[in-house]
Amino acid sequence: MSETEPTTIETGELSRRPGRQRGREDGKFGRYGGQYVPEALMPAIEELTDAYERYVLDNEDGFMDEFRERLADFGGRPIPLQRADRLSERYDREVYLKREDLLHGGAHKLNNALGQVLLAKYMGKERIIAETGAGQHGTATAMAAAHLDMPCEIYMGERDINRQRPNVFRMKLNGAEVNPVTAGRGTLKEAISETMRDWATTVENTHYVIGSIVGPHPFPVMVRDFQAVISEEARAQAIEKTGELPTDVVACAGGGSNTMGSFAAFVDDEDVALHAVEAGGSTLEVDEEAGVAPNSASLYTGEEGVLHGARTKLLQDSDGQIMESHSISSGLDYAGVGPELAYLVDEGRVSPVAVDDDAALEGFHRLSRTEGIIPALETAHAFGFLEERHEELGERVVVNVSGRGDKDLDAAIEETDKRDVDEAPDMSMFTGGI
């Protein structure tokens, strides 16, 4: 790396530190993680594990160099770490924003989608499949597949297709096929089962791109390693701007990929506090009878169980049935969470916090109004946390802006209209419906 490079990304060194070795060998994070998959998928999982070790860990055939280059030229990296002047003043500490909303596609998800589609190419696969709920992961995967000239099929619940028409159109614009899933309630859970079924019969030529640090090994470590570019950059940028490490790093957590991406390079820096902000939904109280958790706070309130191929913390009732989750942000609305985060929470290394819908919406309006950045509703939870708990934080806080809010404007109008939100614009212009 040349002397004049503005941001020195010590990727190699950071990637070899002990915290980053966790899970790489056997997919175990203490009691969490593992490979709980049907027999039919084991060959695919073993082949992928081998490819992860060769191409990602050992940079065989220059895989990681090509990944970095494409993240730069197609994705727009490095992404700035920006000082938030008004928030710094408001909270009386230095607040820095890692602007993943500026990554191509408007969220952190491309880091992973691009890594996995490129890996599939190195593995000689000829077809990409993925599942998507709100459509964010599907759009990122379709974009990466178009960029790398790979045929792509996305499974999506029929109900979600009707609710997310712009994202469905985006995927189709990028040349992906969108396969509606009609089983069950026609949402993410059924779409995941359908994608698994496809993969079990097409493993020879197909790669399944999982969208977060969830699923069987090697997905949690592989997705973390692709997303770790967020904190590798942020760590170097913080040192360059302030001469010191941050005191705190804050990121929202659904499955937890932007979260571990923001934490990975700091895990071994014991003085840096790591805060994972989950969706507290409408309340943390659970309605066991109805099988519903009106939140998505699996790190904060969940219990150990197995979901989608890994042991982790889950929202489940006393019989071990997975409960439906809820959040105003679809990207956080998931009953599970990555096994590595579950482990780091048990170890006391990561602090889980739950921020409810109301506080998240306040965060959404505050960042928009004070900094000129409209965040995704997922991201807004991190700013709800900042408002509620900044007094407990240190002097230099890095917050990951996981995505931009353009996709959430309809939801934001609806949710704001229902509430009395501080700093919200006058909503009367919308009476009469929009």
Ligand X SMILES: *Cc1c(COP(=O)(O)O)cnc(C)c1O
Indicate which residues carry an active-site annotation.
Answer: 109, 131, 402
Nearest to ligand X of 215, 305 (CB atom): 215
CA-based end-to-end distance of the chain: 53
Q: Which of 256, 294, 302, 336 binds ligand X (CB under 6 A)?
A: 256
According to DSSP, the residues that pair with 340 across neighbouring strands are: none
**Is residue 253 at the binding interface for ligand X, with CB under 6 A as the rule?**
yes
In single-letter form, the type of residue at position 123 comes to M
**Is residue 254 at the binding interface for ligand X, with CB under 6 A as the rule?**
yes
**Is residue 167 at the binding interface for ligand X, with CB under 6 A as the rule?**
no
The least CB distance from residue 226 to ligand X, in Å, is 12
Cβ neighbors of 315 (< 8 A, separation 6 or more) are 286, 293, 295, 296, 297, 298, 301, 302, 322, 323, 325, 335, 336
Record the tokens describing residue 45, joined without a space: 């999982």
**Is residue 136 at the binding interface for ligand X, with CB under 6 A as the rule?**
yes
* Residue 338 near residue 260 (C-beta atoms within 8 A): yes
**Is residue 412 at the binding interface for ligand X, with CB under 6 A as the rule?**
no
Which listed range, 156-164, 188-196, 250-258, 299-307, lies at the site for ligand X (CB under 6 A)?
250-258
The least CB distance from residue 430 to ligand X, in Å, is 24
Which listed range, 30-38, 198-206, 247-255, 423-431, lies at the site for ligand X (CB under 6 A)?
247-255
Which listed range, 253-261, 319-327, 355-363, 424-432, lies at the site for ligand X (CB under 6 A)?
253-261
CA–CA separation, 132 vs 161, rounded Å?
10
Q: Which of 49, 212, 231, 298 binds ligand X (CB under 6 A)?
A: 212
According to DSSP, the residues that pair with 155 across neighbouring strands are: 131, 179
CA–CA separation, 90 vs 326, rounded Å?
31
**Is residue 109 at the binding interface for ligand X, with CB under 6 A as the rule?**
yes
Which listed range, 16-24, 161-169, 257-265, 425-433, lies at the site for ligand X (CB under 6 A)?
257-265
**Is residue 402 at the binding interface for ligand X, with CB under 6 A as the rule?**
yes
Nearest to ligand X of 363, 403 (CB atom): 403
Q: Per this entry, what is the length of the chain?
A: 434
Beta strands 273-281 and 177-181: pairing type?
unpaired
Q: Which of 116, 257, 298, 301 binds ligand X (CB under 6 A)?
A: 257
Nearest to ligand X of 323, 380 (CB atom): 380
Record the tokens describing residue 8, joined without a space: 């020195």
Binding mask 307-336 for ligand X (x = CB under 6 A): ------------------------xx----
Burial of 30 from C-beta contacts in 10 A (0-12 / 13-18 / 19+): middle
Q: Which of 237, 258, 298, 312 binds ligand X (CB under 6 A)?
A: 258
CA–CA separation, 395 vs 90, rounded Å?
13
Strand, helix or coil at 250? strand
**Is residue 75 at the binding interface for ligand X, with CB under 6 A as the rule?**
no
Q: Which of 51, 102, 107, 342 binds ligand X (CB under 6 A)?
A: 107
Alpha helices in 203-287 (DSSP H): 219-227, 229-242, 257-263
Task: List C-alpha distances in Å: 23 to 53, 171, 338.
Answer: 12, 33, 12
The least CB distance from residue 165 to ligand X, in Å, is 17
Give me the residue label for tokens 């001469």. 243
Q: Which of 238, 376, 386, 399 binds ligand X (CB under 6 A)?
A: 376
The residues of the shown chain that bind ligand X, judged by CB under 6 A, are 107, 109, 136, 212, 252-259, 331-332, 376, 378-379, 402-403
